[in-house]
Amino acid sequence: MRFTLNGAPAEVEAPPMKRLLDVLREECALTGSKEGCGEGECGACTVLVDGMPVVSCLVPFAQVRDAEVVTIEGLGGTHPLQKAFAELGGAQCGICTPGMIMAAVALGPDPGFEEIRRGLAGNLCRCTGYEAIYRAVQGASA
Amino acid sequence: MRVPAATGYLLWIPPRAYPYPSRDPVSTSVGRNVPRKDGIPKVTGAALYVDDLRFPGMLYGRTIRSTISRGRITSIRFDFDTAGFTIVQAGDVPGDRCNYVALLEDDQPFLAAHQINHQAEPILLLAHEDRDVLNAAKVEIEYERDIPVMDAQASPVVFKEIRIRKGDVERAMETAEVIVEGTYRTGHQEHVYIETNGVIAVPEADGGMTVHGSLQCPYYVHKALKALLDLPDERVRVVQTETGGGFGGKEEYPSVIAGHAALLARKSGHPVKMVYDREEDMVATTKRHPSVIRHRTGLTRDGRLVAMDIDVLLDGGAYVTLSPVVLSRGCIHAAGPYRCEHVRTVGRAVMTNTPPNGAFRGFGAPQTQFAMEVHMERIAEALGMDPVRLRDINALRPGDTTATGQRMGDDCSALEVLRTAVERSDFHRKRAEYAGTGKGIGLSLFYHGSGFTGSGEVHLKSKVALEAREDGVRVLVASAEIGQGTRTMLAQIAADALGVPYEEVEPVQPDTAQVPDSGPTVASRTCMVVGGILQKCAQEMREKIGMMTPQEYARLHGPLLVTRQYEKPHDITWNDTEYTGDAYATYGWGCDVAEVELDPVTYEVRPLRVTVVHEIGKAIHPLLVEGQIEGGTAQGVGWALNEHVVMRDGAMANAQLTNYTIPTTLDTPRLDVVILENPSSYGPFGAKGVGEMPIDGPAPAVINAIRHLGLDVRDIPAIPEAVMEVACASR
C-alpha cells in the first residue's frame, strides 16, 4: 500500500486492519510514536494524517492509503516546538513527548492559551502538570 | 535560556560558596537551567524505551493470572496447541527457596504453585514468537475458593506495627481544654506512568541472564534475579532502558516482571520481551496504599497543640512488598510539621486479599499528612480560629522537636513557606471574597524527609564512582533517570564540585555491569544522598589531579576512577527499636493553597489554581525542580478529585484510562510555584530532596477548599458522587 510518510513516498505491505501505530513502529522502524493505552485515551501515539492529529493506535492501516502521514521523526529535530520542549522542561520522562509535540504542531502557529489547553486535552502527561508544556508551546511561537 | 515568567524564584538565604572555584566562574552550572542531558533524544523520538528494542530470535511473553482472590488451584488445562510455545510453571523455578521475589520478606511467589492470595496473581507464563498466537492461547484454571479478606479494618494479619511515643499522651489529653476527633480515608492510587512496565530478558551463553527494562532500581532487580535464578553477582546484568515515568511504580514491581521474562528466557533459550498493556499494568501492578487514619487531638482554647493521638492503618494487599517501610515514613510524618510535646502514633500495615500495594511517590506521607491537614482544618473550625493562625502557632520552628524527638535546625522552614504561600495567594482576601459563592479556598502545610528513613542510608551503604578519561568525565551511579532529571542534576553537581564545564560530564546508562550500587532511585534521595557522595568523589578527584583538567590527567596517567561510599553524618542518630531520633537528615517544607469551584448541578469540583511554595534547600536546576513540583502537584490533585480505583471482587474494575481518569489539561488547575532555598548542611550545595514532597500537600488543600464551601468531606477521592452524598447528608 502506498502513502506518503514524513514527506517521502512509502510502500508498505501490512494487513489492512493492522494498527497504524504498529505499522509505523514495526514495519517502518519509526519507534518515536509510543503506545500508552491502546484505546485512544493518552495520545502518546499521536501522528498527523493529512495534517490532522490522530491517535494511531485506533487507525487501521487501510485508512492511510494515499494519505500523508507525519510522525515525530518527520519534524527532523529542528522544529521550534522540539527545541522549546527540550529547553523549557516540556519533556520529562519523554514518553508522551512525541505525541504531545505532534498535537501541538496541529495547533498551528501562535495558538492562544485556551487553544493550547483544549488542543492538548487528548494528550496525557503524568510528569509535568502541563505548565511546562504550555510554556514550551508558547515559547516555540515567541 | 529563558526562565519561565510564572516562576517566583526567591532566594532568601544566599547559596553557599562552591567548594572548588571553577576556573571560569561563568561556567558553573549549579543553580542554572543548563540543557537537559536527555532533552534532544526525547523530543526527536530517538530515545529508546524498552518496547522500542528488538533482539534476534526474540519471543513475546505473557502472564496467565488468577481470577479469584483467595483459594487453591485444582486444575490447569491448556486449551490450545502448545507446539511452538514455551510454558513456565512454579515447578520450573529451580528450588522452593527461589520462588520468592527477594525484597523484605520471602512471601510473594513469582508464580503461584497452589495457593492463590489475590486476583491477577501470576500462575504461569507463556512465550511465543508470534504475539497474536500468544494472545489467542487459552488456559482454563479451576479453583477451590476460600473467603477472602477484603476489609483492612477486619484483617487478621498484621505485616508491621510501628509505635512512636513522645511525652505522655493520656495525661496530657486530660489537661486539654478542647478535644477534636476525626477519621480520614484515602483510596488506592494508580501510578499511570505513560510507559507501562516492560522488560526484555536475554539469556547469555555462559548461563547468565541480562535484563533490559523500564525500572527505577537496577540493583533491586539484580538482587531478585540472583535469588530466582540461583546465579552469582556477575552472571546477572540489569540495564535500565529509557524509562517513561516511575513514581514508585517501577521501584519494586520490575523485579516481578523481570523474573518472569527471565524464567521464559532461560527455558526457551531466546530473548523474551514482556511489555504489559495498560489493563494488565493497572490490574496487576502495585498501587498507593489505601489508608484509614484516626486523630484525637487535645488543644488549649487559644489553639496550642497539647496532645496528639494518631492511629494509622494501611492496606498492604496480599504480600508484604515494601509496606513496612511505607508505614514507617507514613507514621513519622503523621503528626505533620507541628510542635507538640505529647504524641502517640500507632501504625499498622495489614494484609488483604487484593494485589499488593507498594511504593508510590510520597511513600505513606501523603496519606498521613492528608489526614493531619484536614484534621487541622476541622480543629480551626472547632475553635472558631483562622486556619492560617492555627498553623502559624503550632508550626515547627528551629529548636522544636518532632514526634520522634528530632530537634529542628536552622533549615526548618515551616513558617516561611506558610507565610509566603498565604501572602502570594492573597489567601485572606479570597477567603472572605469566596465565602457564600460557589468557590472555595483552602491550604495545607507539610514537610517531607529527604532520603531513606532512620538508619536506612547506613544499611544501604551506597557507592558512587566518578571516572576521569581522555574524552571527559563519567558519572557511574545506579540512580535512574525516570524523567526527573537525574542525569542533568548529577552532571551539574559533579561538574561544579570538580570545576569543569557541565558539557564535559556524562552520566553512564545504569547497567549493573558498569555502575556501582548507589541504591534505589526512591525516597527523594538521588540529589541529596547520591549527589552528596558524588560531590565527595569530585572533590577527591580534584585533590588527586591538582590543577590539571581530568582529560589532561587521563592522557598522562591513564583513566582515574574515584569511588566513595555513603558516610553517616556524625551528628545524626536514630534508634530503630524505640523509633526516636533523627528520622531524616533534613526535611523539605511546603505549603499549598488550592482554589476550587463547585458545579452545583453535577457536584464536580473543579480545581482552579494551586499556589505551591516549597523550600528545598537549593535548586540545583530550577527548571527541573519546578517540573517536579508542578507534576507532583497535578498528581496530588488527581488523587484528591479524579482518580478512583474501583475494586470489585478484589480486582480493579476500571483498569482503563477511559475509566480511571488522571488529570488532563482541562482537569489540571493552573499552578503557581515558588521555590525557597534554605540550605541543608547535609546535601550537595545545600540541596534537600524534592521529588516526593509535591504530592503531600495538594489533596488536603483541595479538600480544605471544599470544606470552605461548607462540605464536610474527609475522604478521597472526592468524586462528584461522594461530594453529592456529603452535600445531601448535610441538608
pLDDT 10s digits, B486-529:
999 999 999 999 999 999 999 999 999 999 999 999 999 999 99
Reply yes or no on whether the pLDDT at B3 is more than 50.
no
Which residue in B485, B626, B665 is closest to A121 by CB distance? B665
- Report the CATH number of the B51-68+70-147+199-272 domain: 3.30.365.10
Q: How confident is the model at residue B98, as a pLDDT?
A: 87
CA distance linking residue B70 with residue B119, whole number of Å: 8
Q: How many CB atoms lie within 10 A of CB B97?
A: 11
Q: Are A103 and A90 in contact (CB under 8 A)?
A: no
Q: Are residues A120 and A63 in the same domain?
A: no
Q: Are residues A62 and A8 in the same domain?
A: yes
Compute the average pLDDT of residues B131-152: 98
Q: CA–CA distance from B166 to each of A122, B320, B349, B401, B581 (Å)?
A: 50, 28, 21, 10, 11
Q: Are B252 and B222 in contact (CB under 8 A)?
A: no
Best of B37, B42, B621, B671 to substitute, by most chain A Cβ atoms within 10 angstroms, is B42
Q: Which domain holds residue A137?
A: 76-141
Q: Which amino acid is at B414?
A: A
pLDDT 10s digits, B212-252:
999 999 999 999 999 999 999 999 999 999 999 999 999 99
The grid coordinates of residue B154 equal 477486619
Q: How confident is the model at residue B8, as a pLDDT?
A: 39
The alpha carbon dihedral of B717, B434, B302, B589 has a sign of positive
Reply yes or no on whether the pLDDT at B1 is more than 60.
no
Proportion of chain B above pLDDT 70, given as a percent: 96
Q: How confident is the model at residue B13, as a pLDDT?
A: 37
Q: Are residues A84 and A56 in the same domain?
A: no
pLDDT 10s digits, B614-650:
999 999 999 999 999 999 999 999 999 999 999 999 9
Q: Are residues A16 and A48 in the same domain?
A: yes
Q: What are phi and psi of B667, to 5 degrees?
A: -95, -10
The grid coordinates of residue B125 equal 507464563
| Domain C-terminal end among A24, A50, A74 | A74
Give B281's contacts in chain A (Cβ within 8 Å): none
Q: Are residues A83 and A28 in the same domain?
A: no
pLDDT 10s digits, B558-613:
999 999 999 999 999 999 999 999 999 999 999 999 999 999 999 999 999 999 99
Q: How confident is the model at residue B97, as a pLDDT?
A: 77
Q: Are residues A68 and A87 in the same domain?
A: no
Q: Are residues A68 and A6 in the same domain?
A: yes
The grid coordinates of residue A10 equal 512509502
Give B483's contacts in chain A (Cβ within 8 Å): 92-94, 127
The answer to whether B51-68+70-147+199-272 and B291-454+577-729 have equal CATH topology is: yes
Compute the average pLDDT of residues B410-434: 98
Residue of B5, B287, B49, B190 lying closest to A97 (CA atoms): B49
pLDDT 10s digits, B457-497:
999 999 999 999 999 999 999 999 999 999 999 999 999 99
Closest approach of A87 to chain B, Cα-based (Å): 6
Task: Note whether A30 contacts B51, CB cutoff 8 Å.
Answer: no
Q: Are residues A131 and A90 in the same domain?
A: yes
Reply yes or no on whether the pLDDT at B20 is more than 90.
no
Q: Are residues A6 and A70 in the same domain?
A: yes
Element (H, E) at B592: strand B587-598
Task: Note whether A91 contacts B1, CB cutoff 8 Å.
Answer: no
Q: How confident is the model at residue B523, as a pLDDT?
A: 93
Reply yes or no on whether the pLDDT at B531 is more than 90.
yes
Interface contact B135, partner A, CB < 8 A: no
All structural domains of chain B with their residue ranges? 51-68+70-147+199-272, 291-454+577-729
Q: How many CB pairs under 8 A join A and B?
A: 173
**How are the residues of chain B apportioned to helix, strand and coil, as percentages rounded to the nearest 5?**
30, 25, 45
Q: Are residues A85 and A104 in the same domain?
A: yes
Reduced to 3 states (helix: H, G, I; strand: E, B; else coil), residue B556 is helix
CA distance linking residue A46 with residue A54, whole number of Å: 5
pLDDT band at B2; cut points 50, 70, 90: very low
Reply yes or no on whether the pLDDT at B12 is more than 70.
no
Task: Note whether A135 contacts B664, CB cutoff 8 Å.
Answer: no
Best of A79, A107, A124, A131 to substitute, by most chain B Cβ atoms within 10 angstroms, is A131
ipTM, 2 decimals? 0.99
Task: Note whether A126 contacts B247, CB cutoff 8 Å.
Answer: yes
pLDDT 10s digits, B610-620:
999 999 999 99
Task: Note whether A32 contacts B44, CB cutoff 8 Å.
Answer: yes
Q: How confident is the model at residue B314, as a pLDDT?
A: 98
For B93-177, where are the E strands, in sequence order? 115-116, 122-128, 139-145, 158-166
Q: How confident is the model at residue B96, as a pLDDT?
A: 72
Q: Are residues A67 and A7 in the same domain?
A: yes
Q: Are residues A53 and A116 in the same domain?
A: no
Task: Note whether B278 contacts A39, CB cutoff 8 Å.
Answer: yes
How many domains does chain A divide into? Answer: 2
The alpha carbon dihedral of B481, B484, B485, B490 has a sign of negative
Give A125's contacts in chain B (Cβ within 8 Å): 194
CA distance linking residue B680 with residue A73, whole number of Å: 44
Q: What is the pLDDT along chain A (142 residues), one digit of tens a residue?
A: 999 999 999 999 999 999 999 999 999 999 999 999 999 999 999 999 999 999 999 999 999 999 999 999 999 999 999 999 999 999 999 999 999 999 999 999 999 999 999 999 999 999 999 999 999 999 998 7
Interface contact B129, partner A, CB < 8 A: no
Compute the average pLDDT of residues B316-336: 98
Going by CATH, does the domain composed of B291-454+577-729 fall within 3.30.1360.10? no
CA distance linking residue B553 with residue B547, whole number of Å: 9
Proportion of chain B above pLDDT 90, given as a percent: 95
| Domain C-terminal end among A44, A74, A104 | A74
Q: Assign 3-class secondary structure to B358-402.
A: CCCCCCCHHHHHHHHHHHHHHHHHHHCCCHHHHHHHHECCCCCEC
pLDDT band at B27; cut points 50, 70, 90: low
| Domain C-terminal end among A33, A50, A74 | A74
Which CATH number does the domain housing residue A34 bear?
Answer: 3.10.20.30
Which CATH number does the domain housing residue A87 bear?
Answer: 1.10.150.120
